[in-house]
Structure 1
Amino acid sequence: MRMPLRMFYLAIIQVILTSFIIYYFVSSQYRELSDLNVKTLETFLITQKEQELKNYIAIALSSVDHMAELSEDKKDVVKVSVANIFKNMLYNGDDGYFFIYDDKAIAIVHPKQPDRVGESWWDLEGENGDKIIQVLLANAHAGGGFYRYDWLKPSEKVKAPKLGYSIYIDKWQWMFGTGVYLDDVYSQLNNLHQEIDFHINYTKKIILIVALSSIFFIFLFGIAVNLSHKKRAEAKISELGQRIIDVQEEENRHISRELHDGIIQTLISIKYSLEATTFFLRKNKQEKPASLTQAEDNLGFAIHEVRRISHHMHPQILDELGLSAAIENLSRDFAKQTNIEIKVSKPSLKKLLPDFINTTLYRVVQESLTNIKKHAGAKCVLIDISIQQTWLTLSIKDDGVGFDVNAITKQQHSGIGLRNLAERVEYHLGKFHISSSKTGTEITVKIPTKSFANYFNHLNRAVKQNDT
């Protein structure tokens, strides 16, 4: 795995793990803090309710304090009067009332459930198994106390959690109490829990969005980095390919020069020596040996072949007279060898193009003519070179049998090959296009003028710097 891709995956994994850890700790801490706050609020609300019940009891008892001083012989009458007072003493609508039981759990006062009055409820059990009236009596005898239990809520006719408070009145031997329903408290707490859950879920969504956004941006960054690496790699490969081509061309130029200036000159001197020998024999009226004639013929063929090879590797005319002259010369040789009519249309390009453009276009023409000779069966070839606006265009068109472009371009060819030609052209930011049908084939090369205009700009600046 390449290092950038590995770092990309590590970054995504780190974001996922970090997001998970942050979510876990934030949600757990938030949950703990929220539960603590809810518990504190519940305690506060219950404390308020307890104080409220004590206040109700105190107010109710204060309303009958004056009756506690009456004589003992009127005790029963007083108790009936007090009971009637408490029976009609209501608060908080229908849900706030007072109840009275004696030590045997016989109901004395119960405004909302009068059918309980006069009966003992000693064994009345709550849903948790507690003896409700016994607990209230025990709390009352203990000096007053609170007790939570479920009881019918008058306003809604359903059971609801209730907080009861009871005290004991020694003078009348009553357990006197009241209570408030806690469903509103639990409703507030439940709403608070829902709000907490909402905030936790909202936090989770925020963390998820941040995580996904981070992964998305890392993904985009990774793609950008990979594309950048890919472009740099492709540029380096293209540059390396061009360097290889340049080295090959330079080597071909060197070998061509060595053949032309070295071996051909040596062969020509040998030819002169053979011709001198022939002249000497004729002067002495001696017959010219057949072997000498054969040697002269072989030597002439060798000189021709060496010149042809030298010219094919790198024509000196391309360096000396430019692209136009080199293509014309190549076309003449092609026409002589194949008897195919060839027409060349061109501007004067002797000093306009740099060597690397000249070499590329010359190789395109050379390879195209080679393919036409081998495969096209053409009778006429048109070569057109033009400069229009910002493009240098080379077109090579024949009237041959054509070929399957897709099949051919996917194959490796001997020599330079069409694919290598296309890569050469593309290295100069150019376009290489082949179209072919049964009526002929056309190869079009387009190179932007900026590819070689910049070359001359740099060259001129370098010359000026050298002059200064």
Structure 2
Amino acid sequence: MQLKHKIVALGILPLILAVSVICALVIVQNQRLGEQQAQLIEDSILASKRAELKNYVEMAMSALAPIYESGRDDEQTKQHVLEELSKLSFGIDGYFFVYDRNGRNLMHPRQAALVGKDLWNMTDPQGLLVIRALLKSAESGDGFQHYAWEKPSTGQITGKLARVVMLDRWGWMLGTGIYLEDVERATQQARKEVAQGIYATMLDIGAVALIAVLLVFICGVTLNASEHRLADRKLQLLNQRIMNLQEEERSRLSRELHDGISQVLVSIKFQFELASLQLEAGNERGLDALRQGTERLGDAIGEIRTISHDLRPSLLDTLGLAAAVTQLVTEFEQQSGLTIHYQHHLGDLKLEDGAPVALFRILQEALTNIERHAHARNVYINLDGNQRQVQLSVRDDGVGFEVDRLQEIQGGIGLRNIRERVEHFHGQLSLFSAPGCSELSVTMPIRAAA
């Protein structure tokens, strides 16, 4: 996977993960709130139905109270009470029922087939012993009981809430009930609304996440394109700079060869021709001309050695950095007329491949800048090293320069070369300058070398 794809993936994947976690939390929280809402609706409806059932039972008790309180317990009176209770109803499926303590049905106005039957062991679809549960609830004083019963108007088994009381002297259980399909519809509607809300929320979150992913992708592509253009521009500038440096180096070598070695070789050629003519003529002065040509040939050899040394100091490969710097300091002091104070404490330290050349070129650039711009008299060079790093410092007593301004404009070619060499070896470059004291300090880490 390319780096640009990794960057886009690192931007999108955490976003998708965060959106997924948020969606999961929203679903769980909405489901929890939906269950709470459904429970509140159910509790509210059941509370109102309990109050309604309680009123119905109290109405029935008020209707039979004069007879029950009269103390008459004969069968005719009881049968009259049952007939009157069977006439009481509310709504389509609202009625009263009566059972004795043994679970025998005494009155059921909607299901006459049950009258007189022993229903002590009858269970609902959930396995609840209905009549036993009703009797227990009536005797305990609570009076309310949930169970499933056939709804007369539809013939379907439906949840029902009953209110029952005991007529202890007659041994009757009187009660009535309300079917709860409206409670189930209300709770199902609440859960349906919650599910719809979760679905709508997921759509909104998905839309927001999609927009965010698209924005991240577009920004990543835009940034990648911008970085590509910037990298291409830098590469073009680097290539152009390399070509310019190559042309400058070729021009310098061409001038040195033409102005130095070429003229010396032409002079040697004339000396040898002159010597040849004089010797052929028997003139003894031909030996002097030959001797002068030989001396000029030695000068040419020295000029070639100087150019070769500028291109690649041989001492770097034979005797090391300290010796090469010593030779550079000596030659520069002779050419520039500056007084150079040089100290080094490298010992037998072995530097990483390429580091000696980099330090040598950095020192060359620094001395060239001092000669051209500093107007200094003294230069102090210190080269120190240990097992972790090597440090080169170059200080002069010249006029100084503005460090901040020089860093803003990225310096000249020489300073850029120094900075790039230091960065290549993961080193540090520091500049300080004031009138009478300017210092360049380079620190390079040392990696183990064989």
Q: TM-score range by the shorter chain?
A: 0.5 to 0.7
1:21 shift after superposition = 2.5
Secondary structure of residue in 1 paired with 2:90: coil
Secondary structure of residue in 1 paired with 2:176: strand
| Distance across 2 between alignment mates of 1:85 and 1:77 | 12
Q: 1:241 and 2:239 equivalent?
A: yes
* CA gap 1:267/1:136 in 2 versus in 1, 3 angstroms: closer
Structure 2 gaps of 5+ residues are 275-450
The answer on whether the counterparts of 1:144 and 1:168 sit within 8 Å (CA) in structure 2 is no
* CA gap 1:255/1:129 in 2 versus in 1, 3 angstroms: closer
Post-superposition CA distance 1:213-271 (Å, at most 9, x none):
22221111111111111000111112222333444555666677788888999999999
| Distance across 1 between alignment mates of 2:231 and 2:110 | 91
Secondary structure of residue in 2 paired with 1:115: helix
Match of 2:72 in 1: 72
1:62 shift after superposition = 1.5
Post-superposition CA distance 1:187-225 (Å, at most 9, x none):
111111122222223333333333332222111111111
1:106 shift after superposition = 2.2
The answer on whether the counterparts of 1:38 and 1:192 sit within 8 Å (CA) in structure 2 is yes
The answer on whether the counterparts of 2:161 and 2:180 sit within 8 Å (CA) in structure 1 is yes
Structure 1 gaps of 5+ residues are 277-468
| Distance across 2 between alignment mates of 1:39 and 1:63 | 36
Match of 1:114 in 2: 112
| Distance across 2 between alignment mates of 1:269 and 1:139 | 136
| Distance across 2 between alignment mates of 1:122 and 1:270 | 141
1:57 shift after superposition = 0.5
Post-superposition CA distance 1:339-375 (Å, at most 9, x none):
xxxxxxxxxxxxxxxxxxxxxxxxxxxxxxxxxxxxx
1:125 shift after superposition = 2.0
Structure 1 segment 248-397 matched on structure 2, within 5 A: 248-249=246-247
Structure 1 segment 85-124 matched on structure 2, within 5 A: 85-93=84-92, 95-124=93-122
Percent sequence identity is: 35
Match of 2:61 in 1: 61
1:177 shift after superposition = 0.5
Amino acid at match of 1:234: D
| Distance across 2 between alignment mates of 1:139 and 1:272 | 140
Match of 2:45 in 1: 45
Aligned residues: 282
Q: 1:22 and 2:22 equivalent?
A: yes
1:145 shift after superposition = 1.7
| Distance across 2 between alignment mates of 1:150 and 1:243 | 93
1:114 shift after superposition = 0.9
| Distance across 2 between alignment mates of 1:216 and 1:264 | 68
1:130 shift after superposition = 2.8
Match of 1:165 in 2: 163
1:83 shift after superposition = 1.4
Secondary structure of residue in 1 paired with 2:189: helix
| Distance across 1 between alignment mates of 2:161 and 2:259 | 120
TM-score normalised by length of structure 1: 0.52
Match of 2:83 in 1: 84
| Distance across 2 between alignment mates of 1:144 and 1:257 | 119
The answer on whether the counterparts of 1:4 and 1:225 sit within 8 Å (CA) in structure 2 is no
Match of 2:180 in 1: 182
| Distance across 1 between alignment mates of 2:264 and 2:71 | 161
1:144 shift after superposition = 4.6
Amino acid at match of 2:46: I
The answer on whether the counterparts of 2:96 and 2:176 sit within 8 Å (CA) in structure 1 is yes
Match of 2:191 in 1: 193
